[in-house]
């Protein structure tokens, strides 16, 4: 104990020694994040195919093409839909489950586990499971339609419907995370507020609007941030369900970057799209940070 105290005093006298402890983490961050990021920016100005030792610098050619590329606009729009669409539905479902399963009802623990269980499944496996549901031939959904005497539907053949179904799958898989966050939030709200409001004659709706919702604000911010980031970088489910198709209709920026790099052999242009995705996530993160800071002030 005495030795420890002595060491602690040494550190406080020499803060620079303590600061050196950051170096390993900083080194790893530099090697695996900063350096690849800077390399990505450099490659964005080249026509590199992803494997050759020879390539040329092409100035802003990739950036100019970026704004002419219809597929990029489709993928960007889809990325926003995957991000915000999944987030909205996950909040609605997650909060509903949390409100229901916060009550003392029969089989509550089982139901909580049931809702959370899909989170534990790898997204790529979940994507394939749903693909087999939506498949035109041998798909479970079309088998049900056949039993009902209806014609089969090629569920993933239309771009917008495919995007919607991917949002649905992502929502079903990850609404358990929102539920857990909201459950934790609900359990921190003191019951005295509800008791006091009951005395004042508030009904369940008024209690929800005036007590539950305001006091769940921190939980909202956490859940929205997590779901939004997850949705914006959605990759596995798209690869498994549609592989970005039909054509380019359900690509997100992540899958399009992967496709452009490895399939089209356009690493330079792929890096340019990577910069766009970085800018997009940075923008959304800043907006969320700004909003959360304002909420903290309000609270």
Contact between 268 and other proteins per CB under 8 A? no
CB of 275 within 8 A of CB of 41? Answer: yes
- Write the DSSP string, 55-78: --B-TTHHHHHHHH-HHHHHHHHH
Contact between 246 and other proteins per CB under 8 A? yes
Contact between 164 and other proteins per CB under 8 A? no
Token duo for residue 283: 């923008």
Specify the residue, 170 or 260, whose C-beta has the smaller distance to other proteins.
Answer: 260
Q: For residue 15, is it left (φ>0), alpha (ψ between -120 and 50) or beta?
A: alpha
The DSSP call for residue 55 is -
Give me the residue label for tokens 């994507």: 127
Contact between 160 and other proteins per CB under 8 A? no
Q: Residues in contact with other proteins, total (CB under 8 A)?
A: 33
As beta bridge partners, residue 46 has: 57
Contact between 292 and other proteins per CB under 8 A? no
Residues 35-64 contacting other proteins, CB under 8 A: 49-54
Contact between 67 and other proteins per CB under 8 A? no
- Smallest distance, other proteins to C-beta of residue 32, A: 16
Specify the residue, 225 or 243, whose C-beta has the smaller distance to other proteins.
Answer: 243
- Cβ count within 10 A of residue 244: 23
Contact between 73 and other proteins per CB under 8 A? no
Q: Which of 80, 124, 157, 288 binds other proteins (CB under 8 A)?
A: 157
Specify the residue, 55 or 284, whose C-beta has the smaller distance to other proteins.
Answer: 55
Specify the residue, 135 or 197, whose C-beta has the smaller distance to other proteins.
Answer: 135
Residues 169-228 contacting other proteins, CB under 8 A: none
Contacts of 276-281 with CB under 8 Å at 24 or more apart are 276/66, 276/72, 276/76, 277/79, 277/253, 278/37, 280/76, 280/79, 280/232, 280/253, 281/229, 281/232, 281/233
- Write the DSSP string, 99-121: HHHTS--TTHHHHHHHHHGGGGS
Cα–Cα dist 167/134, whole Å: 14
Specify the residue, 75 or 179, whose C-beta has the smaller distance to other proteins.
Answer: 75
The DSSP call for residue 56 is -
Specify the residue, 77 or 208, whose C-beta has the smaller distance to other proteins.
Answer: 77
Q: Which of 40, 118, 218, 245 binds other proteins (CB under 8 A)?
A: 245
Q: Which stretch binds other proteins (CB under 8 A): 95-103, 117-125, 152-160, 224-232?
A: 152-160
Q: Which stretch binds other proteins (CB under 8 A): 102-110, 156-164, 166-174, 286-294?
A: 156-164
Cα–Cα dist 114/120, whole Å: 11
Specify the residue, 174 or 248, whose C-beta has the smaller distance to other proteins.
Answer: 248
- Smallest distance, other proteins to C-beta of residue 241, A: 9
Token duo for residue 136: 């035109």
- Smallest distance, other proteins to C-beta of residue 229, A: 25
Cα–Cα dist 193/214, whole Å: 12
The DSSP call for residue 82 is I
- Binding interface with other proteins (CB under 8 A): 49-54, 65, 71, 134-137, 154-159, 242-249, 259-260, 262-266
């Amino acid at each position: 104990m005495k030795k420890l105290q002595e060491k602690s005093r040494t550190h406080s006298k020499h803060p620079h020694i303590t600061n050196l402890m950051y170096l390993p983490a900083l080194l790893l961050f530099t090697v695996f994040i900063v350096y690849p990021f800077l390399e990505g920016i450099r490659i964005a100005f080249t026509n590199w195919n992803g494997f050759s030792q020879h390539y040329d610098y092409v100035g802003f050619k990739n950036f100019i093409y970026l704004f002419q590329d219809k597929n990029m606009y489709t993928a960007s729009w889809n990325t926003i839909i995957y991000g915000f669409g999944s987030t909205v539905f996950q909040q609605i479902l997650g909060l509903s489950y949390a409100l229901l399963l916060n009550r003392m009802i029969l089989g509550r623990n089982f139901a909580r586990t049931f809702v959370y269980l899909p989170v534990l499944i790898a997204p790529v496996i979940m994507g394939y499971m749903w693909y087999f549901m939506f498949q035109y031939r041998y798909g479970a959904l079309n088998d049900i339609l056949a039993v009902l005497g209806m014609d089969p539907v090629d569920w993933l053949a239309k771009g917008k419907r495919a995007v919607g179904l991917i949002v649905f799958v992502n929502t079903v898989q990850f609404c358990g995370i929102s539920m857990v966050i909201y459950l934790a939030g609900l359990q921190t709200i003191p019951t005295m507020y509800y008791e006091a409001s009951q005395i004042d004659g508030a009904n369940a709706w008024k209690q929800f609007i005036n007590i539950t919702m305001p006091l769940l604000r921190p939980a909202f911010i956490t859940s929205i941030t997590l779901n939004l980031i997850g949705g914006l970088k959605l990759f596995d489910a798209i690869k498994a369900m549609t592989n970005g198709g039909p054509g380019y209709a359900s690509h997100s920026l992540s899958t399009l970057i992967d496709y452009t790099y490895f399939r089209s052999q356009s690493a330079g242009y792929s890096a340019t799209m990577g910069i766009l995705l970085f800018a997009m996530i940075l923008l959304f993160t800043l907006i969320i940070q700004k909003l959360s800071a304002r909420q903290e002030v309000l609270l």
